[in-house]
Amino acid sequence: MNTIIYYFTGTGNSLKVSKDLSQHLDNTELIQIRQEWLSQKLFTDADNIGFVVPTIFSGIPKLVDQFIKQLDIRKKSPYIFVISNHGDPKGIGIVFEQIQKLIAEKGHSLAACFDIRMPHNVPEKDHLTTNDEKKRLFQEETIRIPIIAESIRKAELIPHKHKKIKNIFERMIYNGAYKSTGSLDKGFYANERCINCATCSRICPAQNIGMKDGRPKWKQDNCQLCFGCLQWCPKEAIQYNKRTIGIERYHHPQIKAKELFYKKFE
């Protein structure tokens, strides 16, 4: 029995969840969902297939949508599960519905839906998580992971209960966010503290940041608004409009920036 876990992450929460889960399952491979993969033939013949994704604007990052669409699932009836990782108390949004639809379009079904709350990674005053709250969420994660692993080992069916009205509202948030903002990276800039280390460019899962004249340059076409660039900047030189100035930065304390770098840079 082997398991493959595909995770998308901006600030490491989904990677932490994926790594911890892999400790409780045999023969598990972790793959980061990144833009670079989309130029390749994507396929899997794993027995268990998992997707660990953050909720962004109530739904999945566009890159996750593209990745799953392109993924060729070769096993006849694999056990497919999703772990929604979210920052709000009930922040799953339409993540399960979206992935269920993508999987169904491939002729497969989603067997189990799990969720874990982690610290919120939007760098805004209203979304900051206190140290006590972080501690509590990290503890809850370590309790929850073995329970999820046990369900996966037993191939339990854990469907998600759709809430129609809530879904309509969340779908509006999701579609609105992607439509109205146009290019999501419009507000990013690096100030004079930038040391041209290119951490932001290497981390960006969407290949959306290049380096020009010693500073990052956002390409304005593929940003997922995961905030990885801003949150991992070692000099806190990156801001998003004015509202991130002076706001405490967050990334998962047990994940290192280089774990998120695209392999070719290592």
Closer residue to ligand FMN in complex, CB, 56/237: 56
Three-state DSSP string of the chain: CCEEEEECCCCCHHHHHHHHHHHCCCCEEEEECCHHHHHCCCEECCCEEEEEEECECCECCHHHHHHHHHCEECCCCCEEEEEEEECCCCCCCCHHHHHHHHHHCCCCCCCEEEEEECCCCCCCHHHCCCHHHHHHHHHHHHHHHHHHHHHHHCCCCECCCCCHHHHHHHHHHHHHHHHHCCCCCCCEEECCCCCCCCHHHHHCCCCCEEEECCEEEECCCCCCCCCHHHHHCCCCCEEECCCCCCCCCCCCCCCCHHHHCCHHHC
Q: How far apart are CA 172 and CA 166, in angstroms?
A: 10
Q: Does 223 bind ligand FMN (CB under 6 A)?
A: no
Instruction: Name the residue whose CB lies closest to ligand FMN.
Output: 91
Q: Does 222 bind ligand FMN (CB under 6 A)?
A: no
Could you say which of 4, 73, 99, 122 contacts ligand FMN (CB under 6 A)?
Answer: 122
Closer residue to ligand FMN in complex, CB, 122/190: 122
Q: For residue 107, what are its two tokens?
A: 């002729």
Within 10 angstroms of residue 182's Cβ, the number of other Cβ atoms is 9
Q: Does 55 bind ligand FMN (CB under 6 A)?
A: yes
With contacts defined by CB under 6 A, name the span among 25-33, 143-151, 195-203, 221-229 that binds ligand FMN. 221-229
With contacts defined by CB under 6 A, name the span among 97-105, 118-126, 153-161, 232-240 that binds ligand FMN. 118-126
Tell the smallest beta-carbon distance from residue 259 to ligand FMN (Å).
Answer: 12
With contacts defined by CB under 6 A, name the span among 11-19, 144-152, 207-215, 236-244 that binds ligand FMN. 11-19
Q: Does 82 bind ligand FMN (CB under 6 A)?
A: no
Tell the smallest beta-carbon distance from residue 95 to ligand FMN (Å).
Answer: 9
With contacts defined by CB under 6 A, name the span among 18-26, 28-36, 83-91, 207-215 that binds ligand FMN. 83-91
Q: Does 32 bind ligand FMN (CB under 6 A)?
A: no
- # residues near ligand FMN by CB under 6 A: 24
Task: Write the Ramachandran bin of 227: left for phi over 0, alpha for psi from -120 to 50, otherwise beta.
Answer: left
The radius of gyration computed from the CA coordinates of the chain, to the nearest angstrom, equals 18
Beta bridge partners of 239: 189
Closer residue to ligand FMN in complex, CB, 87/216: 87
Could you say which of 93, 200, 218, 260 contacts ligand FMN (CB under 6 A)?
Answer: 93
Q: For residue 225, what are its two tokens?
A: 């608004």
Q: Does 56 bind ligand FMN (CB under 6 A)?
A: yes
With contacts defined by CB under 6 A, name the span among 4-12, 188-196, 211-219, 257-265 that binds ligand FMN. 4-12
Contact residues for ligand FMN (CB under 6 A)?
A: 9-14, 54-58, 85-88, 91, 93, 118, 120-122, 225-227
